[in-house]
Chain A
Amino acid sequence: AQTVTQSQPEMSVQEAETVTLSCTYDTSENNYYLFWYKQPPSRQMILVIRQEAYKQQNATENRFSVNFQKAAKSFSLKISDSQLGDTAMYFCAFMKQSGANNLFFGTGTRLTVIP
């Protein structure tokens, strides 16, 4: 079974500063995918960034980047130059490479960007 753990229920950051959200996971799979989703107050889930486990290079999407440590089963999200619109719930998620593409979500981190 796969489990995803987000140990920070809530975090805050000053506007324009950098914040890192942590995520660890547990799996016996060797090939899989990891995601960060954002759920703003409007409640729609939005994909922020994704990472293939077989890639050593960390994924980057504009102000969002990840630190993927496969051996440690860690997948943290770094948000640079935080903006007010980044305020949201952030969920880390896991998907196996084979079989059904079910997403396993962590419990989420509520991020508040302070003006």
Chain B
Amino acid sequence: GAVVSQHPSRVICKSGTSVKIECRSLDFQATTMFWYRQFPKQSLMLMATSNEGSKATYEQGVEKDKFLINHASLTLSTLTVTSAHPEDSSFYICSAAQTQGFNQPQHFGDGTRLSIL
């Protein structure tokens, strides 16, 4: 089946630093990638949708300057949390789809647990 690799799986860093999370589709080309945030015991909240070669579309309330998304190739998207603060601590999950639409389901990465001290 389709495999999505997310790295790192866990990161702990000091307040004020920037953290980059990578999402790779290993055996398929992902036209679209999605970034979600999941708080403890809560659902996944879509942060942004990125299409290869174009700017990401952010959901309402998500600061695009805070959460930088790059989708430079069909197999890689990155999420950079800039100047991270403790309130940014969360579980971040990416997913990838080959194309738009139902027949190309989203394949999820294993997630990244981000802890800001």
* Contact A52 to B57, CB < 8 A, known contacts A44-B108, A107-B43, A108-B43: no
Interface string of A7-26 (1 = CB under 8 A from B): 00000000000000000000
A100 touches B100 (CB 8 A): yes
Given A45-B93, A101-B97, answer yes or no on A95-B43 (Cβ-Cβ < 8 Å): no
Interface of chain A residues 72 through 101 with chain B (CB within 8 A): 91, 95, 97, 100-101
Q: Does the CB pair B110–A44 fall under 8 Å?
A: yes
Partner of B104, one of A43, A46, A101: A101
> How many Å lie between the Cα of A99 and that of B2 in the bound state?
23
CA distance A105 to B44 in the complex (A): 6
> Could you pull out 9 A-B pairs where Cβ atoms are within 8 angstroms?
A33-B102, A42-B110, A43-B91, A91-B44, A101-B100, A101-B106, A102-B46, A105-B45, A110-B41
CB of B57 within 8 A of CB of A100, answer yes
The smallest C-beta distance from A57 to any residue of chain B, in angstroms, reads: 16
Instruction: Check B105 for interface membership: any CB of A closer than 8 A.
Output: yes
CB distance from B22 to the nearest CB of A (A): 16
Q: Which residues of B contact A (CB under 8 A)?
A: 32, 34, 41-46, 49, 57, 91, 93, 95, 97, 100-102, 104-106, 108-111
Minimum distance in angstroms from B5 CB to a CB of chain A: 11
Q: Are B109 and A44 in contact (CB under 8 A)?
A: yes
Q: How many residues of A contact B (CB 8 A)?
A: 23
- Which residues of chain A (37-54) have a CB below 8 Å from chain B? 42-47, 50, 52
**Contacting pair A101 B111 (CB below 8 A):** no
User: In the complex, what residues of B have CB within 8 A of residue A107's CB?
Assistant: 42-43
Report the separation of the CA atoms of residues A107 and B91 in the bound assembly, to the nearest whole angstrom: 15
Chain B residue with Cβ nearest A42? B110
CA distance A42 to B41 in the complex (A): 14
A80 to chain B, nearest CB (A): 23
Whether B43 lies near A101 (C-beta < 8 A) is no
